[in-house]
Amino acid sequence: MNSTLTLVKGRPVSNEGRLEKEIKTYDLLDSLGIKYERVDHEEANTMEACAAIDEVLAPAVICKNLFLCNAQKTKFYLLMIREDKKFKTKEISHQINSARLSFASPEYMEKFLNITPGSVSVMGLMNDTENEVTLLVDEDVLKEEYFGCHPCINTSSIRLKVSDVFEKFLPAVHHDYMTVKLSMGVE
């Protein structure tokens, strides 16, 4: 699959066939002067498809983006962890002083981030104008130079500098983040 994937600089030449939320992502990044590279691809539903996309985005760290909530469904979290780590609810819950965490329903994901399962990305925080979602970031993500994510839709992926995400993008969308430490997962 990766022979047909091409990394290009910036936004698509045409908005045709693109969802408004994807175009809004490019508009915001461009308005902030954040440089990014993009690869368009089929919906990535298999590990093989994701692996091919990851190769094109290299050396970007690719994250698992998990949308979580507390037991009462009153607090919501977007957790960014390296793809080689495993989510352990007890480990995270202890660090953020929250009741046991679980996966939040797609309805909340759409309500707060305007994204659907499979497209979860830090870019969705631009749609969380009421700051309902707390961003949790694995400390190892912050050590990388480049970061890869979806522009609110899983038919494209972008590579940008980690520093741009945390020093330009997050302040622009009025979100802070909490650093968490996750141990390496054993499958």
pLDDT, position 36:
97
Please state which CATH number belongs to domain 8-180. Answer: 3.90.960.10
pLDDT, position 45:
62
Could you tell me which of 151, 110, 121 has the C-alpha nearest to residue 20? 151
Burial class (CB in 10 A: 0-12, 13-18, 19+), 87: middle
pLDDT, position 1:
42
Integer Cα distance of 63 and 138 in angstroms: 9
Residue 133 CA to chain centroid, in angstroms?
13
% helix / strand / coil in the chain, to the nearest 5? 30, 25, 45
Could you tell me which of 176, 180, 175, 171 has the C-alpha nearest to residue 98? 180
Could you tell me which of 69, 36, 66 has the C-alpha nearest to residue 157? 36
Q: What DSSP element (H or E) covers 102?
A: strand 102-103
pLDDT, position 2:
43
Contact 164, 156 (CB under 8 A): no
pLDDT, position 134:
97
pLDDT, position 187:
43
Say what the pTM is: 0.91
Could you tell me which of 131, 132, 165 has the C-alpha nearest to residue 146? 165
Integer Cα distance of 30 and 39 in angstroms: 17
Integer Cα distance of 126 and 173 in angstroms: 5
pLDDT one digit per residue (tens) for the chain, 187 residues: 445 889 999 999 999 999 999 999 999 999 999 999 999 998 876 556 778 888 899 999 888 899 999 989 999 999 999 888 888 888 899 899 887 899 999 999 999 999 998 889 999 999 999 999 999 999 999 999 999 999 999 999 999 999 999 999 999 999 999 999 988 754 4
Contact 146, 161 (CB under 8 A): yes
Q: Which residues of 4-83 form beta strands (DSSP E)?
A: 8-9, 36-40, 61-69, 76-82
Distances (CA, A) of 184 to 66, 102, 152: 16, 20, 27
